[in-house]
């Protein structure tokens, strides 16, 4: 390991002890960030950890909605987001009451199984249009959206969450792809928003065909943020940590990975005898890559950036997160 990296690591570890801090990292973070973290996981695992872990400070290496969720769940802890501009563009595609333009496109999707709301509407509009229909908010949303929702979900539990709700329809925001995938796996009618993750949305059926031709023995895993026509071609659809579990327990030796390339680090490290190929080499989330060892060290030194949610939003947002965490 180069000496500047070892020195950065040493300084971070010293601060961590001094401040009784825990470093959490999402599976998409840079390799060296994952390596210094106390816990690396998918959004559901990270929320569970943030809610229960004993410490004074959480340094969250991920994007802003993740640090926000940690602060909502554990308000007594100081939650730091090392890079304040690490945001999730999808989380900004829906607003509570001031509309925001969103690109509308459903390439290759001729017959959406669910009704997708136009972007000029807001969450309050859709709630008014469907009074009493429960709102499921993907954790990739801002705290005020969570506060206006009945329950949260992640890619790991969306179907269980939808099936846990009363009635025969749900509003599911903001990812159209996750909603369309949920539609295929639940009997309920899913009223979807038309947000998307630009990293997963770019994958096409041609990419899957090419990957299968190049690696005929490999199983294809895809994240539910990919388009439905891509998901239909995959061998397994699951969250990032779900891919780790699937690859580890499978007898197959080769896998095509349909998610952000940061996950390749753990896949390869935890399965050294297996081979992993990215579905597309450009599946890179620039926001997830903003955090570096230098930014973690600066976060400790300068106590930045403290993420805090006002109580009138935190309390109802926590209700939606807690309700999700109660589902096993
Ligand atoms: P998961 O790790 O929960 O599957 O989330 C994917 C993601 O895009 C987070 O931003
Ligand atoms: Fe948002 Fe997609 Fe990046 Fe996850 S990978 S933070 S959903 S843009």
For residues 176-202, give the mean pLDDT.
94
Distance 107 CA to ligand 1 centre (A): 22
Where does the pLDDT of residue 234 fall: very low under 50, low under 70, confident under 90, or very high at 90 and above?
Answer: very high
Which residue in the block uniquely carries the two structure tokens 């976060």?
299
Residue 326 domain-assigned? no
Are residues 81 and 141 both part of a single domain? no
Are residues 98 and 75 both part of a single domain? no
Are residues 28 and 12 both part of a single domain? yes
For residues 267-292, give the mean pLDDT.
97
Which of 240, 257, 283, 284 maximizes ligand 1 atoms within 8 Å of its Cβ, making it the mutation to test the pocket?
240
Are residues 253 and 192 both part of a single domain? no
Q: What pLDDT sits at residue 4?
A: 87
Domain boundary (172, 196, 220) is at 196
Are residues 99 and 179 both part of a single domain? yes
Does residue 112 register a pLDDT over 90?
Answer: no
Domain boundary (196, 227, 260) is at 196
Residues 6+ apart with CB under 8 A from 230: 203, 204, 205, 207, 208, 222, 258
Give me the sheet containing 151-153, strands edge to edge: 151-153, 135-138, 169-173, 189-192
Domain boundary (147, 169, 196) is at 196
Q: How far apart are CA 227 and CA 204, in angstroms?
A: 8
Q: Is 112 helix (H, G, I), strand (E, B) or coil?
A: coil
Residue 324 domain-assigned? no
Residue 318 domain-assigned? no
For residues 125-138, give the mean pLDDT.
94
Please, what's the b/e burial string for 6-42 (b: 16 or more CB within 10 A of its CB; e: otherwise)? Answer: eebbeebeebbeebebbbbbbbbbbebbbbbbeebbb
Are residues 188 and 95 both part of a single domain? yes
Distance 230 CA to ligand 1 centre (A): 17
Ligand nearest to the Cα of 240, by number? 1
Minimal-distance CA residue to ligand 2 atom 2: 197
Ligand nearest to the Cα of 260, by number? 2
Q: Is 190 exposed, middle or buried (0-12, 13-18, 19+ CB in 10 A)?
A: buried
Does residue 90 register a pLDDT over 50?
Answer: yes
Provide the number of structural domains found in the chain. 3
Q: What is the mean pLDDT of the chain?
A: 93
Does residue 38 register a pLDDT over 90?
Answer: yes
Are residues 76 and 167 both part of a single domain? no
Minimal-distance CA residue to ligand 1 atom 7: 43
Are residues 100 and 192 both part of a single domain? yes
Question: Of 115-124, 141-150, 217-226, which gets the smallest average pLDDT?
Answer: 115-124
Atom of ligand 1 minimally distant from the CA of 197: 8
Does residue 110 register a pLDDT over 60?
Answer: no
What DSSP letter does each residue of 241-303 carry, written as one string?
A: HHHHHHHHH-S-SEEEEES-TTHHHHHHHH-TTSEEEES-TT---TTTTS--HHHHHHHHHHT
Where does the pLDDT of residue 166 fall: very low under 50, low under 70, confident under 90, or very high at 90 and above?
Answer: very high
- Higher-confidence residue of 128 and 34: namely 34
Distance 287 CA to ligand 2 centre (A): 8
Spatial CA neighbour of 143 closest among 221, 64, 207, 215: 64
Share of the chain above pLDDT 90, in %: 86
Q: How far is CA 310 from the centre of its chain?
A: 23
Distance 63 CA to ligand 1 centre (A): 10
Where does the pLDDT of residue 106 fall: very low under 50, low under 70, confident under 90, or very high at 90 and above?
Answer: very low
Which of 24, 25, 27 maximizes ligand 1 atoms within 8 Å of its Cβ, making it the mutation to test the pocket?
27
Residue 323 domain-assigned? no
Does residue 121 register a pLDDT over 90?
Answer: no
Q: What pLDDT sits at residue 116?
A: 47
Q: How far apart are CA 221 and CA 213, in angstroms?
A: 15
Distance 14 CA to ligand 2 centre (A): 31
Q: Is 236 helix (H, G, I), strand (E, B) or coil?
A: strand
Are residues 113 and 140 both part of a single domain? yes
Residue 215 domain-assigned? yes
For residues 211-220, give the mean pLDDT.
98
Atom of ligand 1 minimally distant from the CA of 63: 10
Are residues 232 and 160 both part of a single domain? no
Q: How far apart are CA 179 and CA 177, in angstroms?
A: 5
Q: What pLDDT sits at residue 108?
A: 37
Which of 50, 155, 196 maximizes ligand 1 atoms within 8 Å of its Cβ, making it the mutation to test the pocket?
155
Q: What pLDDT sits at residue 180?
A: 95
Number of H helices, E strands in the chain: 15, 12
The two three-digit tokens of residue 139, written as one number: 């954790």
Q: How far apart are CA 74 and CA 41, in angstroms?
A: 18
Domain coverage including residue 258: 200-278
CB 22 within 8 A of CB 38: yes
Which residue in the block uniquely carries the two structure tokens 């959406």?
112
Which residue in the block uniquely carries the two structure tokens 């949303």?
141
Residue 327 domain-assigned? no
Share of the chain above pLDDT 70, in %: 92
Does residue 16 register a pLDDT over 80?
Answer: yes
In the DSSP assignment, the letter for residue 233 is T
Where does the pLDDT of residue 24 fall: very low under 50, low under 70, confident under 90, or very high at 90 and above?
Answer: very high
Residue 325 domain-assigned? no
Are residues 104 and 129 both part of a single domain? yes
CA distances from 152 to 218, 284, 325 (A): 33, 25, 9
Q: Is the peptide bond before 305 cis (omega within 30 degrees of 0)?
A: yes
Q: How far apart are CA 171 and CA 136, in angstroms?
A: 6
Residues near ligand 1 (Cβ within 6 A) = 27, 42-44, 88, 140, 154-156, 197, 223, 225, 239-240
Q: What pLDDT sits at residue 93?
A: 85
Minimal-distance CA residue to ligand 1 atom 2: 42
CATH of the domain at 18: 3.40.50.10800
Beta-sheet strands, E only, within the chain = 21-26, 39-41, 57-61, 78-80, 135-138, 151-153, 169-173, 189-192, 219-222, 236-237, 254-258, 275-278
Are residues 95 and 189 both part of a single domain? yes
Does residue 20 register a pLDDT over 90?
Answer: yes
Distance 10 CA to ligand 1 centre (A): 29
Atom of ligand 2 minimally distant from the CA of 225: 7
Which of 28, 62, 91 maximizes ligand 1 atoms within 8 Å of its Cβ, making it the mutation to test the pocket?
28
């Amino acid at each position: 390991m180069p000496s500047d990296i070892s020195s950065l690591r040493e300084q971070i570890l010293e601060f961590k002890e001094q401040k009784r801090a825990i470093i959490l990292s999402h599976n998409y973070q840079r390799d060296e960030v994952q390596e210094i973290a106390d816990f690396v996981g998918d959004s559901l695992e990270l929320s569970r950890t943030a809610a229960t872990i004993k410490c004074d400070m959480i340094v969250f290496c991920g994007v802003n909605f993740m640090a926000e969720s940690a602060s909502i769940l554990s308000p007594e802890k100081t939650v730091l987001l090392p890079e304040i501009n690490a945001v999730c563009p999808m989380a900004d595609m829906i607003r509570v009451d001031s509309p925001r333009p969103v690109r509308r496109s459903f390439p290759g999707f001729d017959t959406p199984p669910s009704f997708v709301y136009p972007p000029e509407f807001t969450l309050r509009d859709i709630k008014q249009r469907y009074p009493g229909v429960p709102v499921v908010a993907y954790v990739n949303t801002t705290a005020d959206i969570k506060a206006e929702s009945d329950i949260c979900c992640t890619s790991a539990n969306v179907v269980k969450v939808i099936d846990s709700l009363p009635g025969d329809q749900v509003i599911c925001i903001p990812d159209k792809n996750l909603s369309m995938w949920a539609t295929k796996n639940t009997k309920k009618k899913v009223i979807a928003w038309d947000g998307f993750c630009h990293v997963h949305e770019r994958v096409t059926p041609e990419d899957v065909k090419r990957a299968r031709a190049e690696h005929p023995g490999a199983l294809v895993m895809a994240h539910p943020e990919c388009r439905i026509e891509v998901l239909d071609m995959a061998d397994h659809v699951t969250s990032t940590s779900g891919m780790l579990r699937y690859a580890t327990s499978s007898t197959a030796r080769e896998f095509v990975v349909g998610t952000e390339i940061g996950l390749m680090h753990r896949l390869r490290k935890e399965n050294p005898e297996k081979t992993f190929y990215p579905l597309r080499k450009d599946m890179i989330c620039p926001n997830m890559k903003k955090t570096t060892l230098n930014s973690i060290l600066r976060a400790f030194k300068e106590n930045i950036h403290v993420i805090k949610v006002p109580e009138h939003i935190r309390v109802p947002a926590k209700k939606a997160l807690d309700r999700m965490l109660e589902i096993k």
